[in-house]
Amino acid sequence: MHPSYRALFLIGAGCAALHVPALNSLIILLGFLVFEWVDERVAFKAKRKRLARLYDVIFGWKECQDDPSNEEQGEMQRVRLTGQNQIITVRVADLLKETL
């Protein structure tokens, strides 16, 4: 977890400027840290779901029995990539994984 130290400082400074009691200031700071942690977990789970969908699209294709030059996944079909095209596709997929 990487909390925003600026936000922690501003909360602390605001509590001091408004003469908020120490216990209440501590509760506010702990509340901020808890919600920061929850927000990070939700974002992590969303990222994992996006990556899972990307993996489903990239992997899991089987050779089509009717036409060996095609691949199928469920009801979808696509042209089978070979050689240089497959390398480029994998590199683009790696770039997408880094940005997601």
DSSP state for residue 69 in the 8-state scheme: T
pLDDT in tens, 16-66: 999 999 999 999 999 999 999 999 999 999 989 988 887 777 777 788 888
Task: Answer yes or no: do 42 and 6 share one domain.
Answer: yes
Distance of CA 94 to the CA centre of its chain: 14
Do 65 and 40 fall within a single domain? no
CA angle 13, 17, 21 (to 5 degrees): 90
Residues 5 and 41 in one domain: yes
A 10 A CB-CB count for 3 gives: 13
Same domain, 75 and 39: no
Within a domain: 54: no
**What's this model's pTM, rounded to 2 decimal places?**
0.60
Domains of the chain: total: 2
